[in-house]
Structure 1
């Protein structure tokens, strides 16, 4: 049984951080001091569970009135290709809409552009490097 939810306590946040460390730090070689940043304290974190096992994470934060930024969306490698990322994004978009955020932006790794385009995000920047990984900024209006 798959469940996506907002992290409600420190233990759930730590589970989200563990997933991020596995995906971004161990798998993609992003330095830990870049992955875990000053925005973690103020962001709203989300986590997905398969049964009771944490398998995916992401965060959202309001960067200006009505504009949110989705960040650090990741799924453990053995669970990819099962639409878990779609469920994570849907949950974060629902959270945004119910909390007065009507536009979302994100910095997508270029290999994930098609994933976000299928969800209605549009590219709004040229390619840039972040943690030695090519990215593009994308945005979506929420209706």
Structure 2
């Protein structure tokens, strides 16, 4: 896998997010003004886009991770974890010392396995239960991206 970081949202990122969040999960408000101030990370399997996430500065040295999506054929191959690792590495390289995210509650265990913790704020996004989570970004995270594809 290779990862590309872009300041403008690439068409490949839009296509992945539309496929996962709009078509599979039924969200309607997928694209927003935050896309304009985010760094977009797209994972590629050769020339094929496979997954995406975005990060943006929030407050001080805290950045926010969002819109993590992996296309069906690439699920179960650690791509989500590798994208989070790339996001952490990228945010840290730009001065972040903490990353927050607004996770769907059904996938909170995935983020917990990567060191994120529940901040105690639970709400709804388009009727879907979500929760705020965070992780300090000090030193090595232990989940920097690596190519695990065979």
TM-score for both structures, normalised by structure 2:
0.88
* C-alpha distance in structure 2 between counterparts of 1:126 and 1:43, whole Å: 23
> Which of 110, 115, 121 is equivalent to 1:120?
115
Aligned counterparts of 2:35 and 2:121: Cα–Cα separation in 1? 26
Structure 2 residue 6 is matched with structure 1 residue 7: yes
Cα distance, 1:37 vs. partner?
0.2
Aligned twin of 1:24: 21
Q: 2: distance between equivalents of 1:122 and 1:42?
A: 25
Partner of 1:67: 62
CA distance in structure 2 between the aligned counterparts of 1:127 and 1:65, rounded to whole angstroms: 23
Cα RMSD for the two superposed structures: 1.3
Runs of 4+ in 1 over 2 A off after TM superposition: none
76-85 vs 123-132, which moves further: 123-132
CA offset digits 1:88-123 (Å, max 9, x no partner): 011110011110110110011111111100110000
- Match for residue 82 of structure 1 among 77, 81, 91: 77
How many correspondences in the alignment? 138
Residue 99 of structure 2: aligned partner: 104
Equivalences for residues 28-67 of structure 1 within 5 A: 28-31=25-28, 34-67=29-62
Unaligned runs of 5+ in 2: 139-150
**In the aligned structure 2, how far is the partner of 1:82 from the partner of 1:120?**
19
SS at match of 2:35: coil
Q: Separation in 2 of the partners of 1:78 and 1:111?
A: 20
